[in-house]
Chains A and B, each alone.
Chain A
Amino acid sequence: MSEGSASGVPHLPGMEVRPVERNVYEVQIGPSHPGSGHMRIIVELDGDVMVRVDPDIGFVHRTMEKLAEGRGWIKNIPLFERMAILDACNTTLPYVEAVEKLLDIEPPERAKYLRALLCEINRIASHLYGIGIFAVFLGHSTIYMWAFGDREVFVQLAEDLTGARLTHSYPVFGGVRRDIPDDFPQNARKAVRYMRYRLDEYAKIYLNNPNIRKRLEGVGVISKTKAAELGIVGPNARASGIKYDVRLVEPYEAYPELDFEIPVFEEGDSLARAWQRVEEIKQSLNIIEQAVDWLEKHPREGFMHDKFWKTAPKLYKDVYEGNIPYAGKYRVKLMPLFATLKVPPGKAAARVEAGRGEIFYYVESDGKEVPYRVRVITPSFRNVIAFKYVMPGHRLMDLPAIYGSFDYFPPEWDR
Chain B
Amino acid sequence: MKPVATTRSAAGIPTGLLAVWWIVASEIVIFGGLLAAYLMYRLSHDAWAGHAANTNTAIGTVNTFVLLTSSLFAVLAHQAAEKGDGKKAARFLLFTIGGALCFLMIKGYEWNYEISHGMTITTNTFWSFYYTAAGIHASHVIAGAIIMAVVAKDAAKGLELQRVELIGIYWHFVDVVWIFLFPLLYIAK
- Decide whether A and B are members of one complex: no
Residues of B at the A interface (CB closer than 8 Å) are: none
